[in-house]
């Protein structure tokens, strides 16, 4: 019996994404619990905060403006890409649309697109399925290259956005 190098199934890809999300949630819980042990006042993850005292309810607390950091942030910078995937054969991202070829398998079609993004340095960081459809938004990130436009520059380009139709019509242009 010969071994086959079949591409990973969508179910396996989604299982991997779910494992990564669960790992991220665990890390977040650890960070919150560690912050609590440092006296920040947040309740441990899974527990609710104690109810406020009647005195604190009666007197509203003034809101404080967030404090500016002592030095500018020098950590990693990220850029993001949002990709609309319709598993019936359409992918759209930043105004570019790709349509499945005749006779091409849907899983192969999506995998090949994801492989291309991986070659460009994009890493899948989240999936947001759209309710009761085969459509999802895939969110990718990579270290910032400095080539990305700012959100303010994009706002001028957002004047016309097509609606997403679930019947195979136009795909939202991101």
Read off φ and ψ for residue 162, nearest 5 degrees.
Answer: -75, 145
Given pLDDT bands bounded at 50, 70 and 90, which one contains residue 163? very low
Residue 126 carries which DSSP code? E
Q: What is the CATH number of the domain that holds 122?
A: 3.30.1410
In a domain, 166, yes or no: no
Per-residue model confidence as pLDDT tens digits over 69-101: 678 777 888 999 999 998 788 999 988 999 998
Q: Return the closest-CA partner of residue 130 out of 105, 163, 157.
A: 163
Note the pTM of the prediction, 2 decimals. 0.45
> Distance between CA atoms of 7 and 109, rounded to whole angstroms?
11
- Written as one string, the DSSP assignment of 55-120 is HHHHSPPPPPPPPPPSS---S--EEEEEEEEETTTEEEETTEEEEPPTT--HHHHHHHHHHHHHHT
Per-residue model confidence as pLDDT tens digits over 26-56: 777 777 777 777 665 555 555 555 555 555 5
**pLDDT of amino acid 6:** 56
Range(s) of the domain holding residue 85: 78-144
**pLDDT of amino acid 15:** 74
In a domain, 134, yes or no: yes
In a domain, 91, yes or no: yes
Q: Would you say 109 and 159 are in contact if contact means Cβ atoms under 8 Å apart?
A: no
**pLDDT of amino acid 43:** 57
Counting the structural domains of the chain, the total is: 1
Q: Return the closest-CA partner of residue 161 out of 88, 65, 84.
A: 84
């Amino acid at each position: 019996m010969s071994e086959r190098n079949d591409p990973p199934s969508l179910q396996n890809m989604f299982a991997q994404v779910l494992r990564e999300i669960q790992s991220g949630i665990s890390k977040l819980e650890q960070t919150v619990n560690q912050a609590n042990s440092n006296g920040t006042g947040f309740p441990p993850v899974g527990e609710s905060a104690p109810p406020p005292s009647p005195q604190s309810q009666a007197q509203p607390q003034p809101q404080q403006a967030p404090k500016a950091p002592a030095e500018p942030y020098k950590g990693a910078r990220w850029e993001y890409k949002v990709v609309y995937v319709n598993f019936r054969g359409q992918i759209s991202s930043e105004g570019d649309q790709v349509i499945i070829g005749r006779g091409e398998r849907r899983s192969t079609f999506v995998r090949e697109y994801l492989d291309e993004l991986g070659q460009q340095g994009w890493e899948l960081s989240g999936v947001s399925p759209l309710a009761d459809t085969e459509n999802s938004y895939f969110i990718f990130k990579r270290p910032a290259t400095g080539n990305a436009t700012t959100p303010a520059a994009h706002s001028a380009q957002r004047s016309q956005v097509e609606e997403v139709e679930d019947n195979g019509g136009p795909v939202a242009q991101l």
